[in-house]
Amino acid sequence: MKKVLYLLPFLLSGCSSMYIPQMANAPLFEEKGETQVELSVSTNSAYASLGYACSDKYAVVLNGNLSFGNITDYNDIFTHKDSSRAKYTDISVYGRYAHKYLEAAVGRYNLLQSDSYKLEAFAGAGYGTAEEKSYRNRYGLAFAQVDFGQKVKKFEWGLSMRLASSLHNLDWTDDYGKSFDKKFSMVHLEPMAFCRVGGEHVSFVPKIGVSLPITSPAFELVEGAIKDSDYYRTTVLHVSLGVRFKF
């Protein structure tokens, strides 16, 4: 029961958090020279992915996300920075919330040597920041990812599984102006499902995924600081809709 109560802040935080997972990019490359560009949006962020198959076995990808709070007063489609309109789970009720993240990866594709079924694996690293009026989180992340999918005419579906380890550097200021900082690490398991519908060169891509903290930071409350659970939140469920261009 105690463990469940501890995880509640993670499960309830759908709006603003110290860590918004990168929606996994599962290109499922087919041949050398193939280039893919994907643009998508979720309720709190915009995502972009670029991938290139540089040989008949290996490929590189570049992914990133930018939360809406970087360019607008809305931290999430369903919330506003005004505390009178924000949900109680929104930690950014005192100001604009801004999250940025960029990653790069290299991997091996077409492991099954099949025209219909695709299997690929990637490893990479990234860097992100999350800022709000009273706190800032900077983190580095390393991950391994496996993608599986099937293509049937103009329809494609797939599953992606990512294991990520992140190192965070969090600092914040309490209501009395006193500063605090904490370094900690987390491990996340991030499965994702997607489908692609459309032509050979342009297709629509809905995705749904979760980020499950395997290890969570075990913090003691710091005297004079705001409760830890107000800051150590991650976005668990993420859904996006995008467009993929293939060349």
pLDDT at 40 over 50: yes
Confidence of residue 82 (pLDDT cuts 50, 70, 90): very low
Structure tokens at 126: 């990234």
Find, among 9, 3, 94, 81, the residue nearest to 44 by Cα: 81
Q: How confident is the model over 163-170, as a mean pLDDT?
A: 92
Dist CA 213 CA 232 (whole Å): 11
CB 100 within 8 A of CB 94: no
pLDDT at 176 over 60: yes
pLDDT at 46 over 80: yes
pLDDT at 193 over 60: yes
**Higher local confidence (pLDDT), 239 or 75:** 239
Find, among 95, 176, 103, 170, the residue nearest to 138 by Cα: 170
Q: Where are the domains of the chain?
A: 2-246
How far the first Cα of the chain sits from its last, in Å, is 52
Confidence of residue 13 (pLDDT cuts 50, 70, 90): very low
Q: Which of 12-21, 196-205, 218-227, 235-244 has the highest average model confidence (pLDDT)?
A: 196-205
Confidence of residue 72 (pLDDT cuts 50, 70, 90): low
Q: How confident is the model over 10-22, as a mean pLDDT?
A: 57
pTM of the model: 0.82
pLDDT at position 75, please?
58
CA dihedral sign of residues 203, 208, 212, 217 = positive
Dist CA 35 CA 50 (whole Å): 8
- Which CATH number, 3.40.50.300, 1.10.10.10, 2.40.160.20, 2.60.40.420, labels domain 2-246? 2.40.160.20
pLDDT at 245 over 60: yes
Confidence of residue 224 (pLDDT cuts 50, 70, 90): very low
